[in-house]
Amino acid sequence: MRALRIPTDAADPLTELEVHTLEDYQAAVGGWIEPVDIPDLGVTVYVHEEGLVLGLPFNSRATFLWWYYVPEARQKAMLVGSALVVGLPDRNGDNTDIPRDTAALLGQPGKWRVEARPKAEPAWIQIPGTYNDYFEALVWAMVTLERWTAAEDVRVVPVGTGITTVPIRASDGADLEHPPAV
């Protein structure tokens, strides 16, 4: 089955690989495996079950991916060590291939931006800056949500999608070019 490995070092590239046996999964994460589902993305992320106890390094890409798509996990837990991403289990409980669109989203180069929606507002506003890496955009989306108290939600969108945004307005009705620095 097709899988994507996310190493802990953000400078190391993601790698596609084939996994078929429990031993393949264990080799990819370096030990016993623990699944973390991300239903909205259609994937399960496997990490080392004892990674925290063993003091494995923080995996920022896997953690921020999880936090972005699973809000209940934000700031409560982190993923450590190398991560292996496969598709969600089928009806029989067997893992499936990582969805092609998800593999492309995570592994292909692109240009991304972060948008935020202020509380009680229907419109999304563009946060200044663009990112050449989807994972870097996820980090800034989470930072924006944490640091900008007026933000109710965030999203990461590809640059040039035609999604329109409107400027945020100050309490006096004046347009602001962007939200407060985060």
Provide the whole-model pTM.
Answer: 0.84
Question: Phi, psi (5° rounding) for residue 150?
Answer: -80, -10
Task: For residue 54, name the pLDDT band (cuts at 50, 70, 90).
Answer: very high
Burial string for 8-22 (b: 16+ CB within 10 Å, else e) reads beeeeebeeeebeee
Q: Which two tokens stand for residue 81?
A: 């060590």
Whether 89 shows a pLDDT value over 60: the answer reads yes
Phi, psi dihedral angles at 53 (to 5 degrees):
-65, -40
Q: Taking 80 as the threshold, does the pLDDT of residue 74 lie above it?
A: yes
Task: Evaluate if residue 40 carries a pLDDT over 70.
Answer: yes
pLDDT score for 165: 42
Give per-residue pLDDT as tens, 9-24.
999 999 999 999 999 9
